[in-house]
Every structure is written in structure tokens, then in C-alpha cells.
């Protein structure tokens, strides 16, 4: 399957550090985190992060989290942190990923593996699953008990600066390097603790590399390049894991270096190789229910930053109103992503989001047709992500939002 774009050169160590040393550091950190787990305690006590796991002699603070759960004798697969050549990942990005791997116990080798895109724990009975680009496969080399999975979930959430317990059993955080972790505790999850970990590539793929990998053909490549040059407002749609964020990041990287790009995301995961890219991330309320900053407010804040291109990482609610308003007031070259099963389902999804923002169907239709110039719909079939269809919004005979497929 040469067209799978998830494959990339493996993560390399910082300059001057032999690969064998990196492997040794990660594995020793994993062993240290597994050797002497702290005594069991109430999950409500897991508020902060304990001392780094590669310093087992340092005592942990009583109010800090426990160590990582023990590793099974079989252990996770070997890692091969070879430098990916001149186009390989930068030293800071590599150090950040290796540092995170050392903090994550038995998950460390998976986080530095070049082909891993997603990791899942489905409770003790559901097992551990890995996606390396060809779909999910169960990996029995890492078999943890329910207690160990819960401990791991608490630790990962603490690494992201948040807290998870029975009062807040569903938490989503971003760790360094863009690794995204979502955890759900029982009894909300009837099968035990659930962990969903999205592992972005350290080296971001360029638009040309995505084309070479088969995500789109030469005709589509010409359309995409022209859309960026002409500052066409884009909406990238598709199911979860179809490559929306990857394609968006590659497109924005081709924008002129003199343009200021401001992105708004629920959980920051958009990576763009551009000298003037900045990102805002929403914030959930604290334990007292205060301090929440939603996407709709961040869109308004971003408009005060004089963006040349305004990007909403994923439209899921009322922020669609501010985005459409912004793209209708001279902010060309903007973009956003949206979950949709097919191209024909996109108008209904946009109308539903507009309803959440208190917009009438007529208002949604007219603003969307005016604001969005091109829709790019992605699909993932058999582990292969590809640009499947292009579309443009239009009004139907009743003035409702519709979409027409266009040729490349």
C-alpha cells in the first residue's frame, strides 16, 4: 500500500546522540517507572505530576500522581529512532517527543515509533490496540489490569495539567508535541477505563509529499495550489482519522511567509511549518465551574489579532457563526474542518451547527455560500487516506443550503 501517507522517516535523536543511547534512555525510563509503583491511593489525589520517571531515587510528593503501571514481560515492540535524513524532524521536536516518551512508562516506545498514529485501551478485557496506518490491530504484548490502566490514565491527564476522577470522569488533554489524550473512567465507561491517544507525526508532511504518497493526484494538486494562491476559503470535511488536520496543515504551510495565520482549536493539534503561525486553544471550566473559554470567544479574540488567514481547527458548535461572519467580512484565505460522512451530508451538518448558534436555515445558507469557496472531502478506505471529492456550496430551489460536486 504505497499510497498510505502516514508512513514517514522515523524519529531521530538530537544531534550528536547515538540512536543506541536514545533507545537505552527510553527503555531505562520505562523500567524505572515500572519497578516501584507507588502505593494505591484515591484517584482524587492525582492532581499534579510527580518527579520525572527517569529519576527513581527522588521521592514523590504525597499529593502527586503515582508512577506508571508495570510493564508485561513481553514488553512493547522495539523502537528504531533513526534520523530521517535532511528532511527529518527537528532536534527540539525530537527532544520533546523523547521527553514525553520517558514520562509515559510502557507507552514510551510506541510514542517514538515512526508509524504509530493511534493507541487505545478498551479496559482490561478489551485490551490494547494500535493503529499503524493499516487499521486497528490488537497488541497483546502490553496487557494491563484495570487498576493499571486507570493509573496510566490519571497520570497522562495530569501530564496535560488536568484532573480526572469520579466527579470529572471524561477529560481531553494535549501533551507536549501535540499528542492528544482522551480518557473515560468507569462507571461512565461500562467496560472499564478507556484511553484514546492520537499520536501526530514529529515530522510534518508537505503538500508535495502527501501527493507523492497518493492522497491526491496531479489534477487535485493543481486545484489545491491554486486555492491557496487565490486565497479561497476552504472547508475540509471527512470522518475521524481521514486526514483533515494533516491536509490543512500542509496547505497552510504553502501560504506566503509574510501572511499571519491565526488558528483556533478545541484541543491544539494543528501543526504548520510556517514562520507566522499562531494557535489559540479553548479551555474547559475548572472544578468550580469557572474559567471556561469557548471556541466562539476565541474566534472573536483572533479577529483582533489582524489575521491574514483565520483557521478554525474543527467546527463543532456555535463558533460557526463567528467563523462565517469573519469570512464574510474580508478575511479571505481562511479554512476550517468539519466531521461529515460524505460530501452530500455537509450542508446538513453546517445547518445543524448554525442552529446551535441560533441561526436560521436561510441565514446559514446565504452566509455559507458567500463565505466558503471550496469543500474538500476526504475518505479513509483500507487504511488509505485520499481526497475523494470536491464541492461548492449553492442554494437550492427553496433557498436552503446545498452542495454541488465539481471536477478537479
Q: How far is CA 234 from CA 126, 191, 248, in A?
A: 39, 40, 9
Burial class from Cβ neighbours inside 10 Å (0-12, 13-18, 19+) for residue 407 reads exposed
Taking CA 52 as the corner, what is the angle to CA 16 and CA 162, rounded to the nearest 5 degrees? 120
Q: Which residue has the cell 505530576?
A: 49
- Main-chain dihedrals φ then ψ at residue 396, nearest 5 degrees: -85, -170
Task: Give me 48's grid cell.
Answer: 499534579
305 belongs to a structural domain: yes
83 belongs to a structural domain: yes
Task: Name beta bridge partners: 118.
Answer: 131, 198
| Contact call for residues 100 and 176 (beta carbons, < 8 A) | yes
Q: What is the SS3 assignment for 25?
A: helix
| Contact call for residues 112 and 11 (beta carbons, < 8 A) | yes
Domain end among 144, 168, 198 = 198
CATH of the domain at 362: 3.40.50.300
Asked if residue 214 and residue 135 are part of one domain, the reply reads no
373 belongs to a structural domain: yes
Domain end among 198, 227, 247 = 198
Asked if residue 168 and residue 52 are part of one domain, the reply reads yes
Task: Determine the structural domain holding residue 155 and report its residue range.
Answer: 19-198
Q: How many CB atoms lie within 10 A of CB 35?
A: 12
Asked if residue 155 and residue 132 are part of one domain, the reply reads yes
Asked if residue 366 and residue 251 are part of one domain, the reply reads yes
Asked if residue 151 and residue 39 are part of one domain, the reply reads yes
Task: Give me 205's grid cell.
Answer: 508532511
Q: Which residue has the cell 522517516?
A: 9
Asked if residue 325 and residue 294 are part of one domain, the reply reads yes
- pTM of the predicted model as reported, rounded to 2 decimal places: 0.70
45 belongs to a structural domain: yes
> How do the pLDDT tens digits run along the chain, 408 residues long?
444 443 333 344 444 444 444 445 444 444 444 444 444 433 333 333 333 334 434 444 434 444 444 443 334 333 333 333 334 455 676 777 788 888 888 898 898 887 898 999 999 999 999 998 778 899 999 999 999 999 999 999 999 888 899 988 999 888 887 788 999 999 999 999 999 999 887 778 899 999 998 899 999 999 999 999 999 999 999 988 888 989 999 999 999 999 999 999 887 778 788 999 999 988 887 777 788 898 888 888 998 999 999 998 888 888 888 788 888 877 899 998 999 999 999 999 999 999 998 999 999 999 999 999 999 999 988 778 899 999 999 999 888 999 999 987
Count of domains observed in the chain = 2
Region of 374 on the Ramachandran plot (φ > 0 left; ψ -120 to 50 alpha; else beta):
beta
- The answer to whether the Cα torsion of 236, 239, 243, 245 is positive or negative is positive
Domain end among 198, 220, 238 = 198
Check whether the bond before 187 is cis (ω within 30° of 0): yes
Asked if residue 174 and residue 258 are part of one domain, the reply reads no
Burial class from Cβ neighbours inside 10 Å (0-12, 13-18, 19+) for residue 7 reads middle
Asked if residue 211 and residue 181 are part of one domain, the reply reads no
Amino acid at each position: 500500500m504505497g499510497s498510505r501517507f502516514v508512513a514517514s522517516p522515523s524519529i531521530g535523536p538530537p544531534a550528536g546522540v547515538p540512536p543506541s543511547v536514545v533507545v537505552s534512555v527510553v527503555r531505562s525510563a520505562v523500567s524505572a517507572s515500572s519497578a516501584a509503583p507507588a502505593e494505591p491511593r484515591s484517584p482524587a489525589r492525582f492532581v499534579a505530576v510527580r518527579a520525572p520517571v527517569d529519576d527513581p531515587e527522588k521521592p514523590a510528593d504525597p499529593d502527586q500522581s503515582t508512577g506508571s503501571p508495570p510493564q508485561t514481560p513481553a514488553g512493547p515492540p522495539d523502537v528504531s529512532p533513526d534520523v530521517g535524513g535532511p528532511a527529518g524532524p527537528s532536534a527540539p521536536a525530537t527532544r520533546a517527543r523523547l521527553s514525553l516518551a520517558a514520562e509515559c512508562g510502557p507507552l514510551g516506545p510506541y510514542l517514538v515509533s515512526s508509524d504509530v498514529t493511534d493507541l487505545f485501551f478498551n479496559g482490561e478485557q478489551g485490551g490494547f490496540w494500535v493503529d499503524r496506518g493499516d487499521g486497528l490491530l490488537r497488541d497483546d504484548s502490553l496487557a494491563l489490569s484495570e487498576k493499571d490502566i486507570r493509573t496510566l490514565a490519571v497520570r497522562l491527564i495530569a501530564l496535560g495539567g488536568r484532573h480526572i476522577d469520579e466527579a470529572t470522569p471524561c477529560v481531553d488533554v494535549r501533551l507536549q508535541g501535540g499528542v492528544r489524550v482522551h480518557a473515560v473512567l468507569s462507571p461512565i465507561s461500562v467496560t472499564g477505563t478507556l484511553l484514546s491517544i492520537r499520536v501526530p507525526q514529529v515530522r510534518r508532511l508537505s503538500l508535495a509529499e502527501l501527493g507523492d504518497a497518493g492522497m491526491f493526484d496531479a489534477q487535485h494538486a493543481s486545484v489545491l495550489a491554486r486555492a491557496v494562491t487565490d486565497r479561497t476559503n476552504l472547508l475540509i470535511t471527512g470522518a475521524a482519522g481521514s486526514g483533515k488536520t494533516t491536509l490543512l496543515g500542509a496547505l497552510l504551510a504553502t501560504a506566503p511567509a509574510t501572511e499571519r495565520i491565526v488558528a483556533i482549536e478545541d484541543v491544539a493539534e494543528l501543526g504548520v511549518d510556517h514562520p507566522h503561525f499562531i494557535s489559540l486553544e479553548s479551555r474547559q471550566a475548572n472544578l468550580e465551574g469557572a474559567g471556561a473559554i469557548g471556541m466562539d470567544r476565541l474566534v472573536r479574540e483572533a479577529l483582533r489579532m489582524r489575521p491574514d488567514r483565520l483557521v478554525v481547527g474543527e467546527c463543532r458548535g456555535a463558533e460557526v457563526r463567528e467563523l462565517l461572519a469573519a469570512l464574510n467580512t474580508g478575511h479571505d484565505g481562511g479554512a476550517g474542518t468539519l466531521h461529515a460522512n460524505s460530501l452530500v451530508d455537509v450542508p446538513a451538518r453546517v445547518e445543524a451547527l448554525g442552529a446551535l448558534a441560533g441561526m436560521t436555515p436561510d441565514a446559514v445558507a446565504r452566509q455559507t455560500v458567500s463565505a466558503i469557496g471550496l469543500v474538500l472531502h476526504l475518505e479513509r478506505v483500507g487504511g488509505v487516506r485520499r481526497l475523494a471529492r470536491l464541492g461548492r456550496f449553492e442554494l437550492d430551489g427553496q433557498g436552503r443550503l446545498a452542495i454541488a460536486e465539481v471536477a478537479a
